[in-house]
Amino acid sequence: MPNISNRAQILPASPIRKLVPYADAAKSKGRKVYHLNIGQPDVATPPNALQAVRQSDFEVLAYAPSAGTNEYRAKLAKYYAEKVGTQLSPEDFITTTGASEALNFAMIACMNPGDELIVPEPFYANYNGFSIAGGIKVKPITASIDNGFALPPIQDFEQKITPQTKGILICNPSNPTGYLYSKEELLQLRDIVLRHNLFLFVDEVYRDFVYDDKQFHTVLNIEGIEDNVVVFDSISKRYSSCGGRIGALVSRNKEVTTSVMKLAQARLSPPTFGLIVAEAVLDAPANYVSDAILEYDRRRKLLIERLSAMDGVIAPTPGGAFYAFVQLPIDDSEKFCQWLLEEFEYNNATVMMAPGSGFYSTKGLGKQEVRIAYVLNENDLNNAMDCLEKALIMYNV
């Protein structure tokens, strides 16, 4: 039998999805599983978007344009001007199949095999997977739970830079930690990418989810690095449209967008039905996103209050997104999360979380940490916390 590739052998399994068979087995026993492992919003998708799909009228489900329709890219430019305060042209957007494809396209277009990418950890697990698939070396800089996973000292970045370093990648607000980068931190990154002629890749998928009267600052508005910046965006979280699979790569660097366009053409097109949804959600009622933010804020406060009351739990308050990255009084989060699904139940229910080690590149880190996505309603979230509280007591007996 032929051997699979070395890349395939070393690709990490998703910490978010790899325990799904254990969850399915728990459900087959009749147990309720509270899914806190995945960022799948339960807020209803804008009805006008679903109606747009139902009312679509064509005889052939044809390919969409490789970069997305001109109408959608023009609406994106208008959205960025009105909602983000950023002036862009429709040509600065390449529509992708989710933000994940935008990330993959950027890595292929901007980096060679053997190049180095500096990423603060813990980070979204797919950053590691796409880097390995592209032959790119991730050089992690570890953020600390002690300060809520703030940007590590800039001298730590300087120490990691070599002639092979090509870029820095951050998620703002962060998946998995919920940390919101300040403008001062972004300016520090601006200075270092200018000093070393690097790309600054920024995942801004969660930009609308900001709490406590804090302010989000897009890297697209940081002057002086217009040609260094590549941003990833998506309708998935903002408009609760994960299954639409529509994202975008955003950059004023024409060499980048021209190169990415070749990749977009090679994969043919983003999904046609997804584009119908994406164009419609931009016309969602004005209060849709603001109401969703209020809902997630209530869940955030509930979650942190419950976690903070548990013995031995360290739970920094996230400033954005809808994730908390939490330290538990356990020996191994992989083992604990599997045990929750295989052996534990409370009131015939259990909870599913993402083990923290999968969000690190540095071996051995995250063994006591988990990512919790507060995407369930407050009643379910309370029940899930009841399960977790009982589980921690039983696990440590």
Do 232 and 327 belong together in one domain? no
pLDDT tens string 129-152: 999 999 999 999 999 999 999 999
Q: Give every CB contact of residue 177 below 8 A, 6+ residues apart in sequence.
A: 122, 143, 148, 149, 316, 318, 323, 324, 325
- As a whole number of angstroms, the distance between CA 170 and CA 172 comes to 6
Rounded to the nearest integer, the mean pLDDT of the chain is: 97
- As a whole number of angstroms, the distance between CA 125 and CA 359 comes to 5
Q: Where in the sequence is the domain holding 292, given as residue range(s)?
A: 6-44+287-395
Look up residue 201 and give its two tokens.
């890749």
pLDDT tens string 332-382: 999 999 999 999 999 999 999 999 999 999 999 999 999 999 999 999 999
pLDDT tens string 269-297: 999 999 999 999 999 998 999 999 999 99
Do 233 and 320 belong together in one domain? no
How far CA 164 is from CA of 24, 150, 245, in Å, comes to 44, 26, 33
* pLDDT score of 38: 94
Residue 1 counted as domain residue: no
Do 117 and 146 belong together in one domain? yes
Q: Which one of 235, 261, 281 terminates a domain? A: 281
* pLDDT score of 10: 83
pLDDT band (50, 70, 90) for residue 385: very high
Residue 13 has pLDDT above 90, yes or no: no
pLDDT > 90: percent of the chain: 95
* pLDDT score of 312: 97
Do 231 and 249 belong together in one domain? yes
Compute the average pLDDT of residues 37-55: 96
Do 225 and 302 belong together in one domain? no
Residue 268 has pLDDT above 80, yes or no: yes
Which of 1-10, 36-45, 221-230, 357-366 shows the lowest mean pLDDT across its residues? Answer: 1-10
Residue whose C-alpha is closest to residue 232's, from 318, 323, 105: 105
pLDDT band (50, 70, 90) for residue 12: confident
Do 62 and 31 belong together in one domain? no
Do 347 and 208 belong together in one domain? no
* pLDDT score of 396: 85
Of residues 4 and 381, more confidence is placed in 381
pLDDT tens string 175-227: 999 999 999 999 999 999 999 999 999 999 999 999 999 999 999 999 999 99
**DSSP state, 394?**
H
CB-count burial class (<10 Å; 0-12, 13-18, 19+) for 144: exposed
Look up residue 337 and give its two tokens.
């999360």
Do 226 and 122 belong together in one domain? yes
Q: Which one of 229, 259, 281 terminates a domain? A: 281
Q: Which one of 240, 259, 281 terminates a domain? A: 281
Q: Give every CB contact of residue 159 below 8 A, 6+ residues apart in sequence.
A: none
Tally of domains in the chain: 2
* pLDDT score of 21: 95
Compute the average pLDDT of residues 86-112: 98
pLDDT band (50, 70, 90) for residue 18: confident
**Residue 349's beta-bridge partner residues?**
32, 346
Q: Where are the beta strands (DSSP E) in 314-367?
A: 323-327, 349-352, 354-355
Do 143 and 223 belong together in one domain? yes
Do 219 and 315 belong together in one domain? no
